[in-house]
Amino acid sequence: MTGIRAGSNRGGRGDRTQDGRVWTLWSTRPRLPHCVAVSLVLRRLATAVPVILGVSLLTFWILNLMPGNTALSLLGADATAAQVAQLEAELGLDRPAIERYLEWLGGLFKGDLGRSLASGQPVSSMIAERSAVTLELVMLAVVLSTTLAVGMALLAARRPGKTADRVGAVMGMIGISTPSYVLAIVLVLAFAVNARLFPSIGFVPIEESALGNLRSLTLPTIALAMPYFGVCSRFVRGDLVEQMESYGYITTARAKGLGSWNVLLRHALPNSLVGLVTVIGLNLGPLIGGTVIVEQIFALPGLGSLLLQAVNVRDAAVVQGIVLVMAVVTLLATLCVDLLYMLLDPRIRYGRR
């Protein structure tokens, strides 16, 4: 307790923390000491630059390994050699790979991702057009899975080994063992074909109708969220049960006469949230990758389906751009997770480790 009080003298509103009170999520307004946060951000950005360069070099190299000829696949199988050579010259594909990579990299610094080989449109505007759907889908899936996971874990940890715990364990196991494409098809079969509650394919933009938008994203969100839910709920449940069984502050809280919900919500859960944030961050990569499959099944016009189209016509510029954007988003999300981690963990928040 003393650590919090000593630290809170520097922490603005935090110094209203009452003496002897265990830190909880709702009792104090977390404040970042700016120097710690800023140095974290700077350090992360410094390591992110080589990682992103590596990612882009790797994809460029892989895309150049692709057998078959981009120009040929754009023109169709019966193009003459002269036509192919002409198109290659137009697209700049006849130049050495390293030259093209450096040029692409140079454009990147000016915010230019190049032009699509297939359609000639600027890649950045193609990505901007498609990313809203994917972003909405990912956010909905994260919110749905973590809310469900925390709720389920609370029910389970209140009475470990009882019905709710078992149901939660089975649901979690089913969640991590069900591929999203299998779940998606089962959902379509159940809710779009037999019950006709949700559309099976297509997307309604939010400007058109908010309800329609949610309805069109319901099944994709569930399909994407289930595996994620499994991972999160198993983690939170394990963490909560461990705290409830073996930590002194829980015993103290119980001895004060608090009910089990109070103990769980105010004393155990805030501590588990710190770990949960890390788990969420670690699993964002697979989640974003999973949108490729889910968007394909539900015919959503997002980044994933754009990527698939581009890979199929060997449109290297678009693939390169999407991979880069996804890598940057994943890295930024991990950074946000670390900042959130600081907000949630008072020891880090007050600059004490």
| 185 makes contact with another protein (CB under 8 A) | yes
Q: How far is the CB of 6 from another protein (least distance, A)?
A: 32
User: Could you say whether residue 186 binds another protein (CB under 8 A)?
Assistant: yes
Long-range pairs for 301-309 at CB < 8 Å and ≥24 separation?
A: 301/130, 301/133, 301/203, 302/130, 302/131, 302/133, 302/134, 302/137, 303/127, 303/130, 303/131, 303/133, 303/134, 304/134, 305/130, 306/126, 306/127, 306/130
Residue selected from 113, 148, 331, 344 as contacting another protein according to rule CB under 8 A: 331
* Closer of 9 and 177 to another protein (Cβ): 177
In the shown chain, the binding pattern of residues 65 to 84 toward another protein, with x for contact by CB under 8 A and - for none, equals xxx-----------------
193 binds another protein (CB under 8 A): yes
Q: Which of 108, 164, 293, 335 binds another protein (CB under 8 A)?
A: 293
- Stretch 138-177 residues interacting with another protein (CB under 8 A): 173-174, 176-177
State the minimum distance, in angstroms, from the CB of residue 326 to another protein: 5
- Nearest approach, Cβ of residue 119 and another protein (Å): 19
Binding site for another protein (CB under 8 A): 47, 50-52, 54-55, 58-59, 62-63, 65-67, 173-174, 176-182, 185-186, 188-189, 193, 285-286, 288-290, 292-293, 296-297, 307-308, 311-312, 314, 319, 322-323, 326-327, 330-331
